[in-house]
Structure 1
Amino acid sequence: MKALIVYHLIAYIKSYNYVAPMSIFIMILVVNYSIYPNPVLASYGATAIYLYIIAAWISLRFFHTEDIVQQQVTILHAGNDKKYFCSMYLAAGCIVALLAFVSIFYPLVFGMFSKQVTLQELGIGFATHCLLGMVAITLSGVFSRAIIAKKINSWLGLSFMLIVSIASLGLEQLIPGYWKYILFILPPVSEMALLMREPLDLHGIFCVYLWTVAYIGVMVAAFFIIYRRKKKFS
């Protein structure tokens, strides 16, 4: 598995597909902290949302690094497609963890905050970035070429999910009656960002973290179920 993860990362680096999204992410960080001092948790909440969007962009391109023929060859060498796609999820997770690290420590190193940052705030900030990044990865997997053949449909579907999940709290007020419960199929992105403020609600954050982890697990399971069903009938 480790060799496969390294292989995916090297292939992605050689593709240069990361240049545009990572450059834009760095620019967003610089602009976000151009006016300081900034509140710690609110700032981390904002950059976690930015990472969520950029991670989805990176991940969908990451799933398409290899062409279809090369992908089949790699799956053959990996032994099975489950191992192949699991290694892709983990490799994409490594990229997200790197971006989360940059998001957390860039403002800290350059003194952009209005107060001393505690270890608790650092931990919550890093966890929030990583979890939202992993949600983006799993969403991208469901909208990747392995599930949806047409590229335009992949990008449109993923973009729709990103927009609706970020705006879900506002949409809840507009949707009548029991229809609002359909929003539970969305990841708790806006809920998590809303909790990133002082005073810190540890119980609320813990509950949303559990919800997010469960959502990630469901999306990974959905990917493999749909992929195998599609493969069986193709």
Structure 2
Amino acid sequence: MLQDYIRTYSFVPPVLLFIIWTIVSYTYVPNPVFDSFAIACAALYLIVAWLAITLMDTEELVQQQITMLHANSYVKVFSAKILSILFLAALLSLFAVIYPLIIGAFNRSVTVLDCFIAFMSLILISLLSISIAVFFSRAFHSRTLSSWLLLALILVVSLVRSGIENVLPDSFALVTWVLPPSFMILDILGEETIKLGPITLLKWLYVIAYSVLLFYIFLKVKVRKGLY
């Protein structure tokens, strides 16, 4: 999957955009640690969705059918694509964590625990982004400009969910809970000092469970409708 995707060079624009954005964002130093990582999470959330759509659509229909024959399962092919996207997201996450450390961009010393929390936050928000983006790939339906705009709207709205909840009447506030929980990752990074306690772990597990549920729904719909 990665070999086919790399040969298309479709990864170049989103990867370069994220690298350039990261470098530019640390032009002025020093910066608060977790606030900076929260911004990196928001940026990676959008970039990984871009990567996910382009990688999911790398294979044409005939090539995908040949791949499925070799793998004997669409689930295996789908899992390989998800792992491929996560691998690329992990590389970008490492860059987002290591680069500011190398240039001394933070206003305090950064511990190993800080780096672990930041890296896990980047990985989990990437997983969530993938689980949303797959529904907007050609593997699920015909991609149009409106689908790109809808995907962008869902991603952005989920990031600012807390602000939307404050504006809506109490009777409608519960509706926001169906939105992807990317805001939970940002909430975790909202404090300058973070401890790896039960609340943080529960929020991480919620993001994982939400992502897995979306993957499950995607596969069930694909199998039921024969969209493969």
Compute the TM-score of the two structures, normalised by the length of structure 1: 0.91
- Structure 1 stretch displaced more, 55-64 or 177-186: 177-186
Q: How does 1:70-219 map to 2 (within 5 A)?
A: 70-196=63-189, 197-200=191-194, 202-203=196-197, 204-219=199-214
SS at match of 1:127: helix
Q: Give the whole-Å Cα distance in 1 for the aligned partners of 2:74 and 2:48.
A: 23
User: What one-letter code is carried by the residue in structure 1 that aligns with 2:220?
Assistant: I
1:222 is aligned, of 217, 224, 227, to: 217
- Fraction of identical pairs, as percent: 32
The aligned residue for residue 29 of structure 2 is 36
Q: Give the whole-Å Cα distance in 2 for the aligned partners of 1:154 and 1:30.
A: 30
User: What one-letter code is carried by the residue in structure 2 that aligns with 1:101?
Assistant: L
SS at match of 1:116: coil
Q: Check the 8 A contact 1:100/1:130 in 2, yes or no.
A: yes
In structure 2, stretches of 5+ residues that fail to align are none
User: What one-letter code is carried by the residue in structure 2 that aligns with 1:211?
Assistant: Y
- Structure 1 stretch displaced more, 112-121 or 180-189: 180-189
1:194: how far off? Answer: 2.6
1:121: how far off? Answer: 0.2
- Structure 1 stretch displaced more, 206-215 or 146-155: 146-155
1:195: how far off? Answer: 2.4
Q: 1:176-230 CA distances to partner (integer Å, 9 max, x unpaired)? A: 2332212112222123213212232544322211111111111111111111122
Q: How does 1:39-78 map to 2 (within 5 A)?
A: 39-78=32-71
Q: 1:77-103 CA distances to partner (integer Å, 9 max, x unpaired)? A: 211211111111111111111111111
Q: Give the whole-Å Cα distance in 2 for the aligned partners of 1:227 and 1:179.
A: 32
Q: Check the 8 A contact 2:137/2:143 in 1, yes or no.
A: no
- The verdict on how the C-alpha distance between 1:188 and 1:35 changes in structure 2, with shifts beyond 3 A counting, is same
Cα RMSD (Å) of the superposition?
1.6
Q: Check the 8 A contact 1:147/1:230 in 2, yes or no.
A: no
In structure 1, stretches of 5+ residues that fail to align are 1-7
- The verdict on how the C-alpha distance between 1:229 and 1:179 changes in structure 2, with shifts beyond 3 A counting, is farther
Q: Check the 8 A contact 1:38/1:113 in 2, yes or no.
A: yes
Compute the TM-score of the two structures, normalised by the length of structure 2: 0.93
Q: Give the whole-Å Cα distance in 1 for the aligned partners of 2:157 and 2:213.
A: 19
SS at match of 1:114: coil
1:145: how far off? Answer: 1.5
Q: Give the whole-Å Cα distance in 1 for the aligned partners of 2:84 and 2:9.
A: 16
1:113: how far off? Answer: 1.1
1:141: how far off? Answer: 1.2
- Structure 1 stretch displaced more, 198-207 or 34-43: 198-207
1:116: how far off? Answer: 1.3
